[in-house]
Every structure is written in structure tokens, then in C-alpha cells.
A and B are shown apart, each in its own frame.
Chain A
Amino acid sequence: MEIIDIKNLKKSYSGVTVLDIPNLEFKAGQSLGLVGNNGAGKTTLFRLILDLIQADSGSVLSKGEDVAKSEAWKHYTGSFIDEGFLIDYLTPDEYFQFIASLHGLTAGDLDKVLSKYEDFFAGEIRGKKKYIRDLSKGNQKKVGVVGALLGKPDILILDEPFANLDPSTQFRLRDELDKLNKETDMTLLISSHDLAHVAEFCERIVILDHGQIVKDIHTNEQTLKELEEFFIQKIRGGSPADTATEEVSD
């Protein structure tokens, strides 16, 4: 079953098309990795799925409902795009408590969920008298990612979750996402610049380039190689289609 269905989605800024997706469907329970260079349209796509920006045309259907019209998706979608999702003058504990209350979790429920992430936090997040704004970028990201998971969402959307994390935490997060993928029905949408990470646990990988889907791969042993090939090809100016279009920034 398709949990998210994207149809004829187009977005342009001052005449430059930054995203143009005729058709894209995500299967429920599937993990999807989104890769592409800066300006490829990854964040734009996520923002459209989260109804943060308005599409020029087309629509995103989440469980059959247009995200721009119904707000039902907010209850089953967890997301972390950037620090713009964090209330930075709260302590992490206060922030988690607030998110939990939005999803109707009791203090006991919250504690149970958070205790699962003790290792991930490495003792630097909970019970500390520090505001989120005073945490390092990496620790802020941990707060944001766990915050997105609190409501036990059906869909999890993370933009560059591995950036700014130390190597150990990157592997820990990758294992956690892998576990979520295998043990739950959660649909994962993860964008990353780290090809190895996404190739490791994503069942499907989509490459965006200049706002268009150029590859849609079901992951196998060859995938990492294929991905690397694609991006090396780009800098060597392999395909004429790539050099013709101009770089756009998002």
C-alpha cells in the first residue's frame, strides 16, 4: 500500500524550477534514502511533504489525504529538518515533555521511550541544566531526532540526520534506524550526503538531481558502487544532460 503518493509536484523560485516530480510513491513500512548534491531539491521535497511550503502545482497525498488540506498527517508523522524544529530556550527534558503532551503521552510513557535512547544520548542530554540553544550542534540533532520519534509515528522524515554527529553516534543512529525499519512498520524517509549509510539500511534509494528524479534503485550489493559512480560521473561531466542545467540552491 502507498502511504505517500506524490503527483505532478512542481515548485519553482523566481522562475527557476527547483523540484519537478511527475510521480513518486512510498510504500508503507519501506525505508527510503534520498541522495543528491546541494540544491538538488531534497529539503524542498521534504518541506512540501510537511506542508511547510506551497507547491506551484500537484499534490502530496499522505494516507490518501492532501497534506495541504487535511492536518491529520501531523498526528502520525515525525520529522526533523533543522534546528527550526527545536524550541531552543527549553531544556531537552522540557522539550520532550512538551512534545509528549502533544501526542498525549503520560510522564511514565515518556520515561519509558526516552530510556531506550540513553546510549544514543551518551549521558549528555537528559537531566542536565542546559538550554537546547547551549548544546552543541550534534547534541541538538540528537534532541531533534528523538523528538521526532516520540509520538511513535508511522512516517519518519529526517533531513541529513548523520551530519554533525560524531562517528560513534552516526553508527548508533544508523543501527537504530535499521532496527526501526526491521522491527516496526514505520516508513522512513531519510536524506543524506553519506552514501554508505543510506546504502546500508535503506531498501530503496532515490537520487535527485536539479529537482528531478534521475535514479530510483532497490538496494542490493551493487548499490553503493552505483551511487558512487553516479556522483563521480557528475564531476567528470559525463552526461551532457547534467552540464546543460544550471546549479540552483535551495
Chain B
Amino acid sequence: MYLTLFRHRWQKTLRSTFFRQGWGVKILLFLVAVYFLASFGFLGYFMKEILQDAFKDAEKLTPIFSSGLLFYLLADLVMRFFLQDLNVITVQHYLTQPISKKKVVHFLLQSSVFNFFNLLPLLFIVPWAIRVIPEEYGLTHQIVWPISMLAVVFINHYLAIYLKRVLAIKAKIFWAITALLGALYAAHYFELIDLTALSKAVYLPLAQNHILGLWPIGLMILVYLVNYRFLLEMTHLDRWSTKAKEASAFRFSFLEERGPLGLMMANELKLITRNRRTKTALYMSGFFALYGLIFYGNETYADNYTWLMFVGIFMTGIFMINYGQFLVSWESAYFDGILTRAYSMEEFYRAKYYLMILSCVVMYLLTLPYIYFGVHAFYINTATFLYNIGINTAVLLFASTYNKKPVDLSKGSAFNYQGTGAAQFVIVIPLMVVPLLAFQGFKIFDLEYYGLAFLALLGVVGLATHKIFIRETIKNFKEKKYINAAGYRERD
């Protein structure tokens, strides 16, 4: 029985929409995964040499490794807290079957360990156990240490799950823990206490002493049992149902009063602010406004205009690109409604067009302070801003007619590839590569400022002729509507 449950879990993964993507997307995502695994694997494997190099007079390396461990674990805990979730609702179909609740909860907890956050630490633990531990502490430790370390990772795993659940129910406890962590870090920062020493004192014994190496296993079992008892009490579905949030009072009424076009823009803004996936995209855009700090402040990039151009397009257009590449896909859930109502397609697309421009204007204003790094930052941001609103808006609008994969608005956007098709990758070429190449053409002759002016000019021409490309977009939309509608209806 227990094995059957695990087999279901495996089938769920294999049959998820993720694997139903086209081959092009699959291969690309596979390459990305391989890239990350390889780079972390590389880092993990050569951790010995890296630490050796940094601490030349250290007698043993494991104490240094142990000193840093606490920081990794705290960061890991925060990451897990936001990206990991466990919910009885995912197994509710078992609750009415003749399987004991205890078994279902055990299954839920045990099957949760198969995730990315538990794979990553292995890339560091295993090489260290093989390459460093034997020469520093002997062969028997080679076996015990990695097991203890794995238990340490699992403590984090179950602790994050528990904390997340406690937050949902007892907000006070969550804030208490957050305050404690914050205070701890502050104390470390002001050198009142030394967290590295603490980390070393806690984790180094795992490599030195077999008996002491057992405590993580004990603690892991304890955290597991706390979780288990907690979840067992929670198997009634009403304990999980969060109250439906009250509708936002913010209706963008100033737009609503301006006829169908205003209403469509208001709808679009409501779409962005009332759904989880679009909201994450919105927050991320604010974060990306800081992207330039890495490059404008850095000597190495100060004269690399091509690279700064890329940064400029990215910063002023991040929301537009994030949002624009799934245009209409966002509305897949009610696409049939769009097709049968007396929508004016012109206003439908103009609403999107103005909104993309608006987002670029906001991002442009946010990035104006970069002028602090020199007036060239201002020129670059202005040129890329104009190119974004003139040309890239047109590209995104037209490309939207090739979107035919539904997007579920209620899911978060981190690690979410739903709705991603070849179009999302191909679109990068006109969006980024073409302007960079055009600019490069001027740069060869040391005419950087002419290059910028040229891109700005292209943008202005695009703006002036936007009616033409909106018309072309609508034409293409009508040709593709049956295919797209059929695609959007394939919801899970």
C-alpha cells in the first residue's frame, strides 16, 4: 500500500504539465538544470581547494567548513520557507479511502524530502565526505559524518514545513522566531556574539565524535514527530481552507469611468494586482530596478556600453517583458468570453499597449537616479526606454498572437514554466539581440552616442506608427483565434 502511494507520487510528477511541454522547451530547461547542477557540483567538488586557498595556514579544513554551515542553513531555511509547501489537501483523495490517516500523513511527510533543496546540499556534503573527512578524521567518519549532515539538512526541511504551517495558524509564533533570527544576526553583526564560533561548536563535533554525531538524527526524528502530530490533527479539510480574501476596494475607478478602453485597462490592472502569479512578476520588477547597481557601480563595466545597454533594456522593460510575453495567455481562463463578446479588438490591444508603456515609464523613473554614476547612464536608460516603448511593445503585442498555452493565474511565478513555449525563447532575439547588434554596428566605429540616438530614433518611429502594428496584430489574432482558443481550453 505504502509503495503504491509513492508510485502515485512518481506518476504525478511524470504526468505533470511540466513534462507535457514541447520538446524544445524540455531540452532548454534540461540544459538549464544541467548547467546549475554542474556549476554547483563543481563548486562542491572544489570546495576543498577553495577553502585551502583562502585559509592557507589552516591545519584542518572541516572546522572552517563547519563555521560557515549555520549561515547556509539559515539562508536555506528562509528559502525553503518561501518556496516549499506541504498541504494535506494535496492528498485529500486518500482521506476517504480505506487507508489510515496516520499512513497518509507519514506518506505526505516522507514523500516531501524528494525536492531540489535537499539535492543541492548533497553536492557539497558528498565530495567533502570523500575528499576531506578521511584524511582529517579517519575512514569511519567518512560514513558517519555524511549521515549526520543529511540529518541536519532534513531538520531544516521539516522545520521549514512546520514553521510555514504555524505561520498560517499562529502568526505570533512566526514573528517571534523571525525576531529571534533577526536579533541573532544583529548581535553577530555588531560582534556581541560570534555566530561562526557557534556554528563551529555545534557542527564540528559531528566529524570528531561518533556519539555526538547522533544528535542531528535524534533532532530530525523529533522535528518529524512534531510535524506528524501537528498534521494528524489537521486532516480535516476545513482546517486548511483559508477564508476567501475580501475583494480589493481598489477598483481603478478613474479608468473605469473612461469608457470601454479605460475599463479594459482597469481590468488589466486588476488582473495584475489580484492574481498571485502576476503579483510576483510585479514585485520582481521592483527588485530588478536595482539590477543596474551591480554594473553601473562596477569599474569593469563602466565603458562596456553593449553590456550596459542590455542592462538598460532589462531594467526599463523588465515588467513589460515579464508581463508582455504572456499577453492574452493571462486571459486564457476566459478566452471564450472574449471571442463571443462585442469586444472591440482595437481597444483590447490598445489597453495592453498603453499599460506596457506605463510600466516602462514607471521603471524609467525608478532608474533615473543612476545618473549618479555619470550622465552616460542617463543616456543609455533613455535610449533603451524609448526602444522598449516603441519597438519592443510592438514585438510583444504581435508575438502574443502566437501564445496558445494557458496560464494559471493563481500559481506563483518562481520556478513556474507553465505557459512557456518556444515563442518565449524566440522572442528574446528581436527584444534584446537585435538592438544590441544594431548598437554594436555603431560601436565598431566608436560612434556609441550615435548608436544610442539611432535606437532612440527607432523607438520614436515605432511610437508614431503604433496604429499600424496594432492593426497587424489584430489581423493575425483573428487568423489564429481557433488554434489559440483550443489551446487555452486545455486546462488541467
Q: Measuring CB to CB, which residues of chain A are less than 8 angstroms from any residue of chain B?
A: 50-54, 74-75, 77, 79, 81-91, 94, 97-99, 101-103, 128-131, 134, 151
| Smallest Cβ-Cβ distance to B489: which chain A residue | A84
- The distance in angstroms between the C-alpha atoms of A134 and B251, with both chains bound, is 17
In the complex, which residues of chain B have a beta carbon less than 8 angstroms from the beta carbon of A88? 333-334
Given contact pairs A54-B482, A74-B340, A89-B409, enumerate 13 new A-B contacts (beta carbons under 8 Å).
A52-B482, A74-B343, A85-B336, A88-B333, A94-B251, A97-B256, A99-B341, A102-B341, A102-B342, A129-B247, A129-B249, A130-B246, A131-B245
Tell which of B103-111, B270-278, B299-307 binds the partner: B270-278
In the complex, which residues of chain B have a beta carbon less than 8 angstroms from the beta carbon of A128? 247
Contacts A50-B339, A52-B340, A102-B341 known; A91 to B259 CB distance under 8 Å?
no
| Smallest Cβ-Cβ distance to B334: which chain A residue | A87
Could you tell me the dominant secondary structure of chain B's interface residues?
helix
CB distance from B492 to the nearest CB of A (A): 14
User: Which of B274, B337, B339, B409 is A51 in contact with, Cβ under 8 Å?
Assistant: B339
Tell me if B267 counts as interface (CB < 8 A to partner A).
Answer: yes
Contacts A53-B482, A129-B246, A130-B244 known; A90 to B267 CB distance under 8 Å?
yes
Could you tell me the dominant secondary structure of chain A's interface residues?
loop
Contacts A84-B334, A87-B337, A89-B409 known; A75 to B267 CB distance under 8 Å?
no
Tell me if B485 counts as interface (CB < 8 A to partner A).
Answer: yes
- B residues 246-304 near A (Cβ < 8 Å) are 246-247, 249, 251, 256, 259-260, 263, 267, 270-271, 274-275
Contacts A52-B485, A53-B485, A134-B244 known; A89 to B270 CB distance under 8 Å?
yes
Tell me if B228 counts as interface (CB < 8 A to partner A).
Answer: no
In the complex, which residues of chain A have a beta carbon less than 8 angstroms from the beta carbon of B335? 84
Q: Measuring CB to CB, which residues of chain B are less than 8 angstroms from any residue of chain A?
A: 244-247, 249, 251, 256, 259-260, 263, 267, 270-271, 274-275, 331, 333-337, 339-343, 409, 482, 485-486, 489
In the complex, which residues of chain A have a beta carbon less than 8 angstroms from the beta carbon of B275? 89
User: When the two chains form their complex, are residues B342 and A75 in contact, meaning their CB atoms are under 8 A apart?
Assistant: yes
| Smallest Cβ-Cβ distance to B273: which chain A residue | A89
User: Which of A83, A86, A103 is B342 in contact with, Cβ under 8 Å?
Assistant: A103
CB distance from A76 to the nearest CB of B (A): 9
- The distance in angstroms between the C-alpha atoms of A128 and B409, with both chains bound, is 22
CB distance from B424 to the nearest CB of A (A): 23
- The distance in angstroms between the C-alpha atoms of A89 and B269, with both chains bound, is 11
In the complex, which residues of chain B have a beta carbon less than 8 angstroms from the beta carbon of A151? 342
In the complex, which residues of chain A have a beta carbon less than 8 angstroms from the beta carbon of B339? 50-52
In the complex, which residues of chain A have a beta carbon less than 8 angstroms from the beta carbon of B267? 87, 90, 98
In the complex, which residues of chain B have a beta carbon less than 8 angstroms from the beta carbon of A75? 342
In the complex, which residues of chain B have a beta carbon less than 8 angstroms from the beta carbon of A85? 334, 336-337, 340
CB distance from B247 to the nearest CB of A (A): 4
- The distance in angstroms between the C-alpha atoms of A94 and B256, with both chains bound, is 9
Pick the most buried of B249, B263, B334, B340: most chain A CB atoms within 10 A of its CB.
Answer: B340
| Smallest Cβ-Cβ distance to A107: which chain B residue | B257
- The distance in angstroms between the C-alpha atoms of A86 and B247, with both chains bound, is 16
| Smallest Cβ-Cβ distance to A89: which chain B residue | B274
In the complex, which residues of chain B have a beta carbon less than 8 angstroms from the beta carbon of A99? 341
Contacts A91-B247, A97-B263 known; A86 to B482 CB distance under 8 Å?
no
In the complex, which residues of chain A have a beta carbon less than 8 angstroms from the beta carbon of B336? 50, 52, 81-82, 84-85
CB distance from B404 to the nearest CB of A (A): 14
- The distance in angstroms between the C-alpha atoms of A83 and B485, with both chains bound, is 14
| A-B residue pairs, 4 tightest by C-beta | A85-B337, A134-B244, A84-B336, A129-B247
CB distance from B278 to the nearest CB of A (A): 9
- The distance in angstroms between the C-alpha atoms of A97 and B260, with both chains bound, is 10
In the complex, which residues of chain B have a beta carbon less than 8 angstroms from the beta carbon of A86? 334, 337
Contacts A74-B342, A134-B244 known; A101 to B259 CB distance under 8 Å?
yes
- The distance in angstroms between the C-alpha atoms of A88 and B246, with both chains bound, is 14
In the complex, which residues of chain B have a beta carbon less than 8 angstroms from the beta carbon of A90? 267, 270
Can you give 27 contacting A-B residue pairs, CB < 8 Å?
A50-B336, A52-B482, A52-B485, A53-B485, A74-B340, A74-B343, A77-B340, A83-B333, A84-B333, A84-B335, A84-B336, A84-B337, A85-B334, A85-B336, A88-B334, A97-B256, A98-B263, A101-B259, A101-B260, A102-B260, A102-B341, A129-B249, A130-B246, A130-B247, A131-B244, A131-B274, A151-B342
In the complex, which residues of chain B have a beta carbon less than 8 angstroms from the beta carbon of A51? 339-340
In the complex, which residues of chain B have a beta carbon less than 8 angstroms from the beta carbon of A91? 247
User: When the two chains form their complex, are residues B342 and A79 in contact, meaning their CB atoms are under 8 A apart?
Assistant: no
In the complex, which residues of chain B have a beta carbon less than 8 angstroms from the beta carbon of A103? 342
- The distance in angstroms between the C-alpha atoms of A75 and B249, with both chains bound, is 31
- The distance in angstroms between the C-alpha atoms of A85 and B343, with both chains bound, is 13
| Smallest Cβ-Cβ distance to B244: which chain A residue | A134
- The distance in angstroms between the C-alpha atoms of A151 and B343, with both chains bound, is 13
| Smallest Cβ-Cβ distance to A71: which chain B residue | B342
- The distance in angstroms between the C-alpha atoms of A77 and B342, with both chains bound, is 9
In the complex, which residues of chain B have a beta carbon less than 8 angstroms from the beta carbon of A102? 260, 341-343
CB distance from A98 to the nearest CB of B (A): 5
In the complex, which residues of chain A have a beta carbon less than 8 angstroms from the beta carbon of B260? 101-102
- The distance in angstroms between the C-alpha atoms of A191 and B220, with both chains bound, is 58
In the complex, which residues of chain A have a beta carbon less than 8 angstroms from the beta carbon of B256? 97
| Smallest Cβ-Cβ distance to B486: which chain A residue | A53
| Smallest Cβ-Cβ distance to A131: which chain B residue | B247
- The distance in angstroms between the C-alpha atoms of A134 and B489, with both chains bound, is 21
- The distance in angstroms between the C-alpha atoms of A54 and B486, with both chains bound, is 10
CB distance from B477 to the nearest CB of A (A): 12
In the complex, which residues of chain A have a beta carbon less than 8 angstroms from the beta carbon of B246? 129-130
In the complex, which residues of chain B have a beta carbon less than 8 angstroms from the beta carbon of A53? 482, 485-486
- The distance in angstroms between the C-alpha atoms of A87 and B249, with both chains bound, is 17
| Smallest Cβ-Cβ distance to B341: which chain A residue | A102
| Smallest Cβ-Cβ distance to A79: which chain B residue | B340
- The distance in angstroms between the C-alpha atoms of A166 and B342, with both chains bound, is 31
- The distance in angstroms between the C-alpha atoms of A85 and B245, with both chains bound, is 22
- The distance in angstroms between the C-alpha atoms of A95 and B112, with both chains bound, is 40
CB distance from B352 to the nearest CB of A (A): 15
In the complex, which residues of chain B have a beta carbon less than 8 angstroms from the beta carbon of A52? 336, 339-340, 482, 485
- The distance in angstroms between the C-alpha atoms of A223 and B116, with both chains bound, is 63
In the complex, which residues of chain A have a beta carbon less than 8 angstroms from the beta carbon of B337? 84-87
- The distance in angstroms between the C-alpha atoms of A82 and B337, with both chains bound, is 9
User: When the two chains form their complex, are residues A101 and B263 in contact, meaning their CB atoms are under 8 A apart?
Assistant: yes
- The distance in angstroms between the C-alpha atoms of A74 and B342, with both chains bound, is 5
- The distance in angstroms between the C-alpha atoms of A229 and B340, with both chains bound, is 36
